[in-house]
Chain A
Amino acid sequence: MGAILVLFLYTMMLMNLNKEAEPAKSALMKIAAVIGGGCFLITIVAVTRTWGSSNPVLMKNPDLGLVKNLGKTLFNEYLLPFEISSILLLSAMVGAVLLATKDKQPKAV
């Protein structure tokens, strides 16, 4: 989480953004977007409000959040997604390095 934010900061420092001239979209688009988002929010609020009082989220088993138990679940039942996500991170790293390096030699025309 913090690493992702640090990544954002590095990229922003890399680009020399001086004056942000951010021309506004047309007011109609903004109003439409706010109305659309507001409708979505109102829908979800209406759905949850009609459920009455719901059960409180109580931790019945206090060992649930322990790293030991999460690790046991991760390495026993979810071993395949774990290994595949490691390949995913490797490919993302290779792709990011490939995309972001400048071409030293001039492009062949």
Chain B
Amino acid sequence: MLGVPLNHYILLSAIIFSIGVIGVLIRRNAIVIFMSVELMLNAVNLLLTAFSVYRGDAAGQVFVFFIMALAAAEVAIGLAIIVMVYRNTNSIDINVLNRLKW
């Protein structure tokens, strides 16, 4: 059975990561920004799993566990913050948060 070359995994993960970065920088909706952060984390998960199989080391996949747990915790707190922002300003547009300057 032919395996997929490692470069292909790296390329795919880099493309997904850069899409996540572009999403964080461009979009104004706070939930879409969170989804882009999740996209970046999942790109790294994919690459870690590929390298774990490539090296025959189970530590990569175990690290993916921790990254997923961390992503869940971060999403919980981040969404709670978004709900609070929405409750105060009635908008999830991040440009509204410019008001914190004064």
Contact = CB atoms under 8 A, between A and B. Distances in A.
B70 A54 contact: no
Interface in A54-109: 54-61, 64-65, 69-70, 73-74, 77-78, 81-82, 85, 88-89, 91-93, 95-97, 99-100, 102
A89 B69 contact: yes
Contacts of A7: 72, 75-76, 79
A25 to B, nearest CB: 7
A38 to B, nearest CB: 8
A53 B3 CA distance: 13
Given A11-B31, A61-B56, A81 B66 contact: yes
Q: Is the interface of B mostly helix, strand, loop or mixed?
A: helix
Nearest to A95: B77
Interface in B52-102: 52-54, 56, 58-59, 61-62, 65-66, 68-77, 79-84, 86-87, 92-93
B75 A4 contact: yes
Contact of B83 (A15, A23, A61, A77): A15
Given A25-B28, A41-B18, A99 B5 contact: no
Counting contact residues on chain A (CB < 8 A from B), the size range is 35 or more
Q: Is the interface of A mostly helix, strand, loop or mixed?
A: helix
Contact of B6 (A44, A56, A65): A56
Interface in B23-52: 25-26, 28-29, 31, 34-35, 38, 42, 50, 52
A58 B3 contact: yes
